[in-house]
């Protein structure tokens, strides 16, 4: 096996100075707007118990217009409203 010549530039070498990278990190932190995530983390976890959720939810009332009824009749469809 032959030795590969080493590159003078390291894989983790960054052309920016530490001050520039620090300023970049601060700018990113200020612009992330993490307030919503902070509120979500502070809330308790939702319950895992079935009893904590409603069992029976009222069903929505569906109104069938006269035009829809005529169209269903023409297509020989059964509508629950009839």
Task: Per residue of the chain (82 residues), give pLDDT as tens.
Answer: 567 777 666 666 667 888 988 999 899 888 888 888 889 899 999 899 988 887 787 888 888 899 988 888 888 876 665 5
pLDDT of residue 9: 65
Question: What's the whole-model pTM score?
Answer: 0.32
In contact, 62 and 81? CB cutoff 8 Å: yes
4: its two tokens: 């590969």
* Residue 6 counted as domain residue: no
Q: Which domain holds residue 43?
A: 16-50
Query: What's the structural domain count of the chain?
Result: 1
pLDDT at 79: 62
Q: Is residue 74 in some structural domain?
A: no
| The pLDDT of residue 11 | 64
Q: Is residue 2 part of a domain?
A: no
C-alpha angle 24-30-32 in degrees, rounded to nearest 5: 100
- Residue 44 domain-assigned (yes or no): yes
């Amino acid at each position: 096996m032959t030795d590969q010549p080493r590159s003078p530039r390291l894989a983790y070498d960054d052309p920016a100075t530490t001050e520039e990278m620090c300023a970049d990190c601060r700018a990113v932190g200020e612009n992330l707007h993490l307030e919503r995530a902070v509120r979500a983390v502070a809330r308790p976890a939702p319950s895992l118990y079935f009893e904590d959720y409603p069992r029976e939810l009222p069903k929505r009332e569906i109104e069938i217009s006269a035009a829809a009824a005529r169209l269903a009749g023409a297509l020989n469809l059964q509508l629950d409203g009839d």
